Each structure stands twice: as C-alpha cells, then as structure tokens.
Amino acid sequence: MAEDREMALTAMETGQTGKVVQIQGGRGMIGRLEVLGIRIGRELRKVSSQFMRGPVVLEVGNTQVAVGFGMAGKILVEVTE
C-alpha cells in the first residue's frame, strides 16, 4: 500500500500533505533543499502548481518554497493526507 502513496511532488494534488522519502539529487541540490527545511522525513504541503510544467510551491514548517518542475520531480513524498 505504501508504495501506491509514494509519488513525486509534481504528481501530488494541490493541498495534499506528505512526508519526504527520497531526494534524487546530488550533494549540491540536497544541501540547497536542506537549508530551506526540505529533508527526508519532513512533512510538507503542496500549495500550488502552474500550467505547463511550471514551478511547484510547497510549504514546510512556516516556510514556503518555489521549486522548478524538474527539481520538484526529483523530490519523492509519501502522501499522508
């Protein structure tokens, strides 16, 4: 069951929350995401997405971050709600 609920940030619905399970990127990308609070195990909420592969806005803690579509596709989450 858990596997069904695991998906990329881009596939999530607006308003859904989930837990970060994997970041498919190098040290640089992981480091940049980390300091904004996006780390494995953290809860996040998808705030919005744009038409035609636009950026995804997500919320972790009290921080909102805009992440480009490609990068968002490399952040895998397990949807919780």
Residues at the site binding other proteins, with contacts judged by CB under 8 A = 14, 28, 31-32, 34-37, 39, 47-48, 50-55, 57, 61-71
User: For residue 61, how many other CB atoms are within 10 A of its CB?
Assistant: 11
Given the structure tokens 């859904």, which residue do they identify?
Answer: 16
11: Cβ contacts below 8 Å, ≥ 6 apart = none
Report, in Å, the least distance between residue 64 CB and other proteins: 4
Nearer to other proteins, 22 or 31 (CB): 31
Nearer to other proteins, 1 or 28 (CB): 28
3-state secondary structure of 79: strand
Nearer to other proteins, 24 or 70 (CB): 70
